């Protein structure tokens, strides 16, 4: 306990003269590449191919085009077998060629002798529709344009390969592409025969506190002591932030890039600090034990068990020490020299619009999509407040304004979120031949369909699994219910193909 307890005692003594408010305190996720040690070195990866795509599908007078990246795997396809066509939908990050040889969908492709394509999402990876990512150019970054990209690609491949009119296209997507998969079947049923939608949020929602509700439940399921210690750690952070004696301790414990004392009167910095600590835990929960590549395999090896082992270790000191240790593990895994919580730095970075900038990997683009279509702001606006109350939905909407302009305010976000739900149907989506798959640990399941409402669009809810777990390659560590889910998905695909 050492120095931390001494500081806490000193602060609590000072509390006799000071009013102390103990407040407790996300992330969204990309579908990571499937994990397989040494694959790149031992097997040939799919090569980049390019499809000429329209910039604006909904303006017939706009004839501008661009090159969209895609991958192909035809090694299982049998023309004489009249096999199906599988299309993996790219999402809010760079498309990985590893998916063309690995993952559950490849197992299905082998079984059904399918031809496989993966189409990268516009504005992500190497698929650059415009010269930069200026706010003006990002107007062409919408889910509707992305669906139209997929439709144009399917129609072109039907013509190129001479497919018959009864060819069966099955689309696959995880996370945001999981939503796109369901919406593709909804909006283009004449082109897409079936869809596997994994971890796809269907309900657009500006204020999304339910995200942290699931984080809490996932921690509680692992260990009630673990959860309570996280709450205690948050309370101790709050204590440190309220007194001068704690500032330098926080700087050292969390290896902050800038002294926290300089930000005490800057609410945006403090909110961002809390969000950073919350996302440390939430990111681990969201991808818990997925057979995936994160930033690197060191990150994937940090699980809920890791968190709780630390939080329950009495030899590691006070709860805040344990929270700092989790932060240290993640910083080391991601090769970060210090923890940057400064709000203005974040805004400056997300305001960069060059394809050569760091945020071109997806940060700016996804921020734009959330501000203009989905919301999905993981806030602290409702109990249980395990990470406090310092990052309400207004904190995120202010980021929309600061990054993209004054018009991207609360009224704008709310209007466009409602428009998205009206266009796609939200949780009342009326589709057939779609299987919705979610994991109980994944915080995104709170915005998805987790119970079967009608047999033509069944739901599979996998206890004990995280984000897109069913999509990754099989592992000897897979839970029985995850194995069963993959079998059930194959049965649905088989039934669709036979229709």
DSSP line for 95-121: --GGGGT-SHHHHHHHHHT-EEEEEPP
Cβ distance 496 to 167 under 8 Å?
no
Q: Is 290 among the residues known to form the active site?
A: no
Kindly name the residue from 175, 218, 379, 380 that is annotated as catalytic.
175
HEC sequence for 51-72: EEEECCCCCCCCCCEEEEEEEE
Q: How far apart are CA 347 and CA 390, in angstroms?
A: 18
Against a cut of 0.85, is the pTM above it? yes
- For residue 283, give both structure tokens: 């990111």
| Overall size of the chain counted in residues | 499
Give the per-residue pLDDT at 23. 20
What are the Cα distances from residue 491, in Å, to 6, 179, 374, 479, 495? 61, 21, 32, 19, 6
Average pLDDT estimate for 403-411 = 99
Kindly name the residue from 96, 467, 478, 492 that is annotated as catalytic.
467
Per-residue pLDDT at 112 exceeds 50: yes
Give the per-residue pLDDT at 383. 87
Give the per-residue pLDDT at 357. 95
Average pLDDT estimate for 425-448 = 98
Question: Which one is predicted more confidently, 293 or 422?
Answer: 422
Question: Which one is predicted more confidently, 334 or 251?
Answer: 251
Q: Is 442 among the residues known to form the active site?
A: yes
Q: Is 410 among the residues known to form the active site?
A: no
Q: How far apart are CA 471 and CA 247, in angstroms?
A: 44
Going from the N-terminus, what domains does the chain have, and what CATH number goes with each? Answer: 39-203+427-498 (3.40.50.1820), 206-419 (no CATH)
First to last CA, the chain: 65
What is the sign of the dihedral through the CA atoms of 95, 403, 53 and 182? positive
Q: How far apart are CA 393 and CA 397, in angstroms?
A: 6
CA-angle at 10, arms to 8 and 15, nearest 5°: 90
Cβ distance 86 to 76 under 8 Å?
no
Give the per-residue pLDDT at 221. 92
Give the per-residue pLDDT at 204. 99
Give the per-residue pLDDT at 44. 83
For 204-254, the pLDDT digits (tens) are 999 999 999 999 999 999 999 999 999 999 999 999 999 999 999 999 999
For 145-180, the pLDDT digits (tens) are 999 999 999 999 999 999 998 999 999 999 999 999
- 354 Rama class: left (phi>0) / alpha (psi -120 to 50) / beta: beta
Kindly name the residue from 149, 269, 442, 478 that is annotated as catalytic.
442
- For residue 269, give both structure tokens: 């910095």
């Amino acid at each position: 306990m050492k120095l931390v307890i001494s500081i806490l005692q000193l602060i609590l003594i000072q509390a006799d003269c000071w009013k102390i408010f103990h407040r407790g305190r996300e992330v969204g996720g990309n579908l990571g590449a499937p994990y397989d040690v040494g694959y790149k070195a031992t097997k040939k990866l799919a090569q980049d191919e390019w499809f000429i795509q329209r910039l604006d599908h909904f303006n017939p007078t706009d004839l501008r085009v661009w090159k969209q990246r895609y991958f192909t795997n035809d090694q299982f396809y049998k023309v004489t077998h009249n096999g199906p066509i599988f299309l993996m939908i790219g999402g809010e990050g760079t498309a990985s060629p590893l998916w063309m040889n690995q993952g559950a969908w490849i197992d299905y492709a082998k079984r059904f002798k399918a031809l496989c394509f993966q189409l990268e999402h516009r504005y992500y990876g190497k698929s650059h529709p415009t010269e930069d990512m200026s706010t003006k150019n990002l107007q062409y970054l919408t889910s509707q344009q992305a669906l139209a990209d997929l439709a144009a690609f399917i129609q072109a491949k039907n013509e190129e390969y001479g497919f018959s009119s009864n060819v069966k296209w099955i689309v696959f997507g995880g996370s945001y592409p999981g939503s796109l998969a369901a919406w593709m079947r909804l909006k283009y049923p004449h082109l897409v025969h079936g869809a596997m939608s994994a971890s796809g949020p269907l309900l657009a929602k500006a204020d999304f506190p339910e995200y942290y509700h699931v984080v809490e439940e996932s921690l509680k399921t692992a260990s009630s002591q673990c959860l309570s210690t996280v709450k205690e750690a948050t309370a101790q952070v709050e204590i440190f932030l309220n007194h001068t004696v704690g500032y330098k301790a926080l700087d050292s414990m969390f290896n902050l890039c800038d002294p926290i004392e300089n930000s005490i009167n800057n609410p945006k910095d403090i909110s961002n600090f809390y969000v950073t600590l919350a996302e440390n835990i939430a990111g681990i929960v969201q991808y818990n034990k997925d057979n995936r590549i994160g930033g690197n395999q060191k990150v994937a090896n940090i699980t809920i068990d890791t968190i709780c082992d630390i939080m329950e270790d009495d030899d590691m000191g006070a709860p805040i020490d344990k929270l700092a240790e989790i932060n240290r593990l993640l910083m080391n895994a991601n090769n970060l020299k210090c923890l940057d919580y400064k709000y203005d730095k974040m805004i400056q970075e997300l305001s960069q619009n060059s394809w050569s900038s760091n945020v071109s990997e997806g940060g700016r683009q996804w921020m734009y999509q959330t501000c203009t279509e989905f919301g999905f702001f993981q806030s602290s606006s409702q109990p249980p407040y395990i990470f406090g109350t310092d990052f309400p939905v207004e904190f995120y909407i202010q980021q929309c304004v600061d990054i993209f302009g004054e018009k991207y305010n609360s009224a704008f976000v709310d209007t466009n979120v409602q428009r998205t739900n009206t266009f796609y149907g939200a949780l009342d989506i009326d589709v057939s031949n779609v299987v919705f798959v979610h994991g109980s640990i994944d915080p995104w399941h709170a915005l998805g369909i987790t119970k079967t409402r009608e047999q033509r669009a069944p739901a599979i809810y996998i206890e004990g699994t995280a984000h897109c777990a069913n999509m990754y390659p099989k592992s000897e560590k897979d839970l029985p219910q995850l194995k069963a889910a993959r079998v059930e998905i194959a049965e649905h695909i088989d039934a669709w193909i036979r229709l």
